[in-house]
């Protein structure tokens, strides 16, 4: 059985959702799950579609970006699909994981996306290093460390780490870090 999944990010994309549903039906989807939510939001209908899948079924989507928000998300979804004995079909790419070639292409696409991400991060690190060398990059201010005096004062007044953290809107681990730094300075 073919199970269709359609998604648009906002309610004002009604025509896009209808077009996806039409294409999924044309591709043979017998059951449709549709929703209008951002990819970063909880996608209840995607979860329902994945739960509905049975051995031998195929989850059909029109485009890859309608299904997954990242390579990791895609791989998790594909793993869920495969665990159920089902396959994935992406209409726009003419890709079906029922065949070894489809699985290979999906893996290659995932690898390319991961490679692009790593290259982008490497360039970002190089740019930051260059800016630091030129004195143009200072990084973000250490917000918790800037409150060290206040943290130590409050602790000396008998407040707990949790109370201090909540009062100053910093994490408890930041309070502990400040305490350790103070203890190391005192011991030296």
CATH code at position 66: 3.40.50.1390
Same domain, 6 and 79: yes
Same domain, 157 and 92: no
Q: SS3 for 45?
A: helix
| Pair of tokens at residue 187 | 């011991």
Same domain, 79 and 11: yes
Q: SS3 for 4?
A: strand
Around Cβ 178, how many Cβ atoms within 10 Å? 22
The answer to whether residue 73 sits within a structural domain is: yes
Residues 132, 121 contacting (CB under 8 angstroms): no
The answer to whether residue 106 sits within a structural domain is: no
Is residue 39 pLDDT above 70, yes or no? no
Where are any strands of DSSP class E within 27-179? 31-36, 58-61, 87-90, 95-96
For the chain, the domain total comes to 2
Is residue 34 pLDDT above 90, yes or no? yes
Residues 104, 75 contacting (CB under 8 angstroms): no
| Pair of tokens at residue 84 | 């159920």
Which is nearest to 113 in space by CA: 66, 69, 76? 69
- Give yes or no: 9 in active site: yes
Residue that wins the pLDDT comparison between 24 and 111: 24
Position 185 confidence tier, pLDDT thresholds 50, 70, 90: confident
Position 44 confidence tier, pLDDT thresholds 50, 70, 90: very high
Same domain, 6 and 89: yes
Contacts of 69 (CB under 8 A, 6+ apart): 39, 40
Is residue 10 pLDDT above 80, yes or no? no
The answer to whether residue 128 sits within a structural domain is: no
The answer to whether residue 56 sits within a structural domain is: yes
| Structural domain harbouring 158 | 145-187
Out of 9, 34, 39, 148, pick the active-site residue: 9
Is residue 35 pLDDT above 70, yes or no? yes
The answer to whether residue 57 sits within a structural domain is: yes
Which residue reads 């799950």 in tokens? 33
């Amino acid at each position: 059985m073919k199970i269709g999944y359609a998604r648009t990010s906002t309610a004002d994309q009604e025509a896009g959702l209808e077009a996806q549903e039409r294409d999924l039906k044309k591709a043979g989807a017998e059951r449709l799950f549709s929703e209008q939510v951002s990819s970063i939001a909880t996608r209840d209908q995607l979860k329902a579609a994945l739960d509905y899948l049975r051995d031998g079924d195929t989850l059909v989507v029109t485009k890859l970006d309608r299904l997954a928000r990242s390579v990791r998300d895609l791989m998790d979804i594909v793993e869920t699909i495969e665990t159920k004995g089902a396959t994935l079909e992406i209409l726009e790419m003419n890709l079906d994981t029922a065949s070894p070639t489809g699985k290979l292409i999906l893996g290659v696409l995932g690898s390319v996306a991961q490679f692009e991400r790593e290259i982008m991060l490497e360039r970002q690190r190089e740019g930051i290093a260059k800016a630091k060398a030129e004195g143009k990059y200072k990084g973000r201010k250490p917000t918790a460390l800037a409150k060290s005096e206040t943290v130590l004062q409050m602790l000396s007044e008998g407040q707990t780490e949790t109370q201090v953290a909540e009062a100053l809107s910093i994490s408890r681990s930041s309070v502990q870090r400040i305490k350790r730094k103070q203890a190391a300075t005192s011991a030296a």
